């Protein structure tokens, strides 16, 4: 039996309720589901594993991997809730010591409710037209100036412009640009309607039009990557604020 998941929204958070049997064979499907949840850029991701039978403790590594991804982007906490006694013992291993583990969903909610930090964010829906890149630069510039980050105006506007241009040139779909200020990073993400992964050219032709967008993003950003999401993908990049 594979792992079954039920995802529900709680305000700005997402709760994922697991049931079934967790084995190494179904780790991939669990990871894909959780990455799609991260692509929604929630305030927090709560994983209820109280009904999950962990038959192979090594499979718990999927939660540690997703938590590491969430720390890189979108910079949100991943909270593991309600592990059974045997699972709780496995989570004491060194490989899982960075995981945030709580006895129940309510205990995790209480911690999140006690931390009422508001993460500033600007977003806009853009059409796949030539003027979209200019609008993306304007949004990134406005965000940097609003949040007292004038030194990031140039790289943030370049990254936003290039990510949006890639959608215009390749995906040809509507897109959502979101710029968010986290504790240590300014994060820029573009969600589009294509599931095709972005490709970083290894040897772009100097005479070919385009093709350099992700090279510029790669050179300017602290980190960048992409995640699958419902109906497409999210490509993101982060800039250190200090």
**Tens digit of each residue's pLDDT (9 = 90 or more) over 52-107:** 999 999 999 999 999 999 999 999 999 999 999 999 999 999 889 889 999 999 99
- Higher per-residue confidence, 213 vs 54: 54
Question: What pLDDT is stored for residue 115 in this prediction?
Answer: 72
CATH of residue 159: 3.30.565.10
109 and 180 in a single domain? The answer is no
Where among 95, 114, 133 does a domain terminate? 114
Same domain flag for 228 and 177: yes
Question: Within this chain, do residues 53 and 109 fall inside the same structural domain, yes or no?
Answer: yes
Instruction: Indicate which CATH number applies to the domain containing 109.
Output: 3.30.750.24
Please indicate, yes or no, whether residues 96 and 148 belong to a single structural domain of this protein. no
The structure tokens 């037209």 sit at 129
Beta bridge partners of 191: 176, 234
Is 25 in the same domain as 71?
yes
Query: Same structural domain for residues 129 and 200?
Result: yes
Structural domain of residue 138, as residue ranges? 121-240
What gap in Å lies between CA 175 and CA 128, rounded to an integer? Answer: 7
Gap between the Cα atoms of 34 and 32, Å rounded = 5
Tell whether 48 and 12 lie within a shared domain: yes
User: Could you give the CA distance from residue 136 to residue 125 in angstroms, rounded to a whole number?
Assistant: 10
178 close to 121: Cβ distance less than 8 angstroms: yes
Cis peptide leading into residue 74 (ω within 30°): yes
DSSP 104: S
In this structure, the answer to whether residues 133 and 223 fall within a common structural domain is: yes
Of the residues 114, 130, 149, which one is the last residue of a structural domain?
A: 114
57 lies in the same domain as 129: no
Per-residue pLDDT of 187-212, as tens digits, reads 999 999 999 999 887 665 544 444 57
My answer on whether 205 and 233 are in the same domain is yes
Same domain, 207 and 236: yes
- Angstrom CA distances, 12 to 44, 80, 190, 241, stand at 7, 17, 19, 24
Residues 30 and 91 in one domain: yes
| Residue ending a domain, choose from 51, 82, 114 | 114
SS3 180: strand
pTM: 0.89
As for how many domains the chain has, the answer is 2
List phi, psi (to 5°) of 92.
-80, -10
The region of weakest confidence among 42-56, 131-145, 156-170, 206-220 is 206-220
């Amino acid at each position: 039996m594979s792992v079954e998941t039920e995802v529900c929204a709680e305000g700005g958070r997402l709760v994922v309720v697991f049931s079934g049997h967790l084995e190494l064979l179904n780790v991939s499907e669990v990871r894909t589901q959780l990455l799609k949840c991260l692509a929604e850029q929630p305030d927090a991701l709560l994983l209820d594993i109280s009904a999950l039978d962990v038959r192979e403790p090594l499979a718990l590594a999927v939660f540690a991997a997703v938590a590491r991804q969430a720390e890189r982007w979108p910079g949100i906490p991943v909270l593991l809730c309600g592990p059974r006694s045997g699972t709780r013992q496995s989570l004491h291993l060194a490989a899982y010591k960075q995981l945030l583990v709580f006895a129940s969903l309510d205990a995790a909610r209480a911690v999140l409710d006690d931390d009422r930090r508001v993460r500033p964010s600007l977003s806009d829906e853009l059409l796949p037209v030539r003027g979209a890149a200019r609008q993306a630069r304007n949004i990134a510039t406005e965000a940097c100036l609003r949040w007292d980050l004038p030194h990031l105006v140039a790289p943030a506007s370049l990254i936003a412009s290039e990510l949006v241009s890639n959608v215009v040139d390749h995906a040809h779909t509507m897109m959502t640009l979101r710029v968010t200020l986290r504790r240590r990073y300014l994060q820029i993400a573009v969600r589009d309607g294509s599931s095709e992964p972005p490709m970083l050219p290894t040897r772009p032709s100097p005479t070919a039009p385009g093709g350099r967008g992700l090279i510029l993003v790669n050179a300017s950003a602290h980190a960048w990557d992409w995640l699958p999401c419902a109906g497409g993908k999210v490509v993101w990049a982060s800039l250190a604020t200090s």
